[in-house]
Amino acid sequence: MRTLVVTGTGTGVGKTVVTAAIAALAQSVTVVKPAQTGVATGEPGDVQEVARRAGAHVRTVELVRYPDALAPEAAARRAGMPTLTCDDVVAAVRACRTDLVVVEGAGGLLVRFSPAGLTLADMARALEAPVLVVTSAGLGTLNTTALTLEVLAARGALCLGLVIGCWPSAPDLASRSNVSDLRAMAPLLGVVPEGAQGHPRDWLGPELGGTFDADLFAARW
């Protein structure tokens, strides 16, 4: 069983769309969401969105759900609900019986899941799983991406590469310039077009089951 952890440089950069794209290209896959926040009981969360986008073959697991749209530890505290331990996450992943398990985080890499300071970086290290970082295209992305990669290295977790979660249909100067700088930080393994137009195989590189070519993409800009 192969395990991949998906994080982002912040909230709203496209983690769920990228997770769904990876799942859509896999034949045997489970998507695990350790903590879902900001969604009431009975409402669809991120794993339901992944299944909707990726197809009925995708198995999904959501470990805990908190109603407030906050970081998991803060949301659990407000709701008076228990928080996760790293052992909870490892056990849930180990129980999966598919060839690929994709673990989707909440917010950015250092968002807290428990009062003890559990983060997605800790989970990745415990799972011995590489981390895919979903980032944005425009102004500010170089700083947030560099910080995320620096923390991954400091926490002893391996970065598999980067995916730009939303490439604008009319990229500005910053977005175009950032392509080469992002590639200098880590392998660029995919780019999702604005509106997620097209097929996931065109968005993701061979490492993730697709046909995206970073060299050809970069040459355009």
Which residues have a catalytic role annotated?
A: 33
Q: What's the CA gap between 123 and 107, in Å, rounded?
A: 14
Query: Both tokens of residue 193?
Result: 């077009």
Q: What's the CA gap between 76 and 83, in Å, rounded?
A: 6
In terms of Cβ atoms closer than 10 Å to its own Cβ (0-12, 13-18, 19+), residue 49 is middle
Q: What's the CA gap between 4 and 101, in Å, rounded?
A: 6
Q: How far is CA 50 from CA 21, 132, 205, in A?
A: 8, 17, 19
Query: Both tokens of residue 23?
Result: 């799942």
Torsion on CA atoms 198, 189, 175, 104, rounded to nearest 10: 80
Sign of the C-alpha dihedral computed for residues 209, 163, 86 and 158 taken in this order: positive
DSSP-assigned beta bridge partners for residue 30: 59, 101
φ, ψ at 169 (rounded to 5°): -70, -25
Query: Both tokens of residue 103?
Result: 């673990």
